[in-house]
Amino acid sequence: MLCTLGTVFAEVVLGTVVALVLERLTDGRGWTMALLLLPWAMITVVSAQLWAYVYNGVYGVLSYAVEAVTGGQVDILGTPVSAVPAMSVADIWKTTPFVAIIVLAGLVMLPGDITEAARMDGANAWTIFWRVRLPLLRPILAIAVLFRILQAFGIFDLPFVLSGGGPGDATQSLALLGWQVMFQNLSFGPGAAVAASTAALVFAGCLVFLRAFRTQVGEAEETA
């Protein structure tokens, strides 16, 4: 759960930063967006396998670089301390473009007269973003967070290919746990319980975020 929250938070922050940069681009925005969407468009199994090559303890690029600096051999996916951040980095790399495109769409739709009025009143760029644009972006950010948390609950292919849920159960997701219990251990009762619990958590999360979304929409309309 903490890994999911940390990953979603990092994706929202990085996606917002990338969207702000794209908004200021005039020439080459289309090509930049196309390149940005490559990680998101790539099949998760393929991207997970690429990161598995990067993290490999024998011939991985990152493992080789760490070994060159520290002088000792390291297996990034072999210990929970490093495996969890490694999978988080792979997930952030793939899904940050998705968040960036959503936030960019929200930035484009923001009314320009409010920003111009704040600029004429002497507000700097940071104040305009923090006090004017960010409150108006809250409904868009709520949608991005909702999508990402729901996807994080159902993530299967990334931990399955990258680490198999290990070491131990350090990188095991609920979807992967249900698959292992039901199809590997052939424990259909506990597997069904995991699936039902996951569905209940997703449903509860949807209700919470829809309530928060309605509140954010109301506040944004009052601000506008």
Give pLDDT tens digits for 5-19: 888 899 999 999 999
Amino acid at 59: Y
181-193 pLDDT per residue, tens: 888 888 888 888 8
* Residue 186 C-alpha from the chain's centroid: 32
CB 66 within 8 A of CB 74: yes
45 vs 41: CA distance, rounded Å: 12
CB 156 within 8 A of CB 176: yes
Contacts of 209 (CB under 8 A, 6+ apart): 142, 145, 146, 149
Query: Average pLDDT of 116-121?
Result: 83
What residue spans of the chain are helical by DSSP H?
2-24, 29-36, 38-41, 44-55, 61-70, 80-109, 112-120, 125-127, 134-153, 157-162, 174-179, 188-223
Query: Average pLDDT of 20-28?
Result: 83
2-223 has CATH 1.10.3720.10 classification: yes
Between the alpha carbon of residue 21 and those of residues 16, 103, 109, the distances in Å are 9, 11, 16
| Mean pLDDT score across all residues of the chain | 83
- In this prediction the pTM is 0.84
> Which of 44, 24, 48, 134 has its CA nearest to residue 98?
44
Residue ranges of domains in the chain: 2-223
Highest mean pLDDT among 12-26, 29-43, 72-86: 12-26
Handedness of CA 118, 124, 130, 134 (dihedral sign): positive
Which range, of 25-39, 151-165, 205-219, averages the lowest pLDDT?
205-219
Query: Average pLDDT of 12-34?
Result: 86
DSSP 215: H
* Residue 100 C-alpha from the chain's centroid: 10
Which pLDDT does position 18 carry in this prediction?
92
Which pLDDT does position 126 carry in this prediction?
86
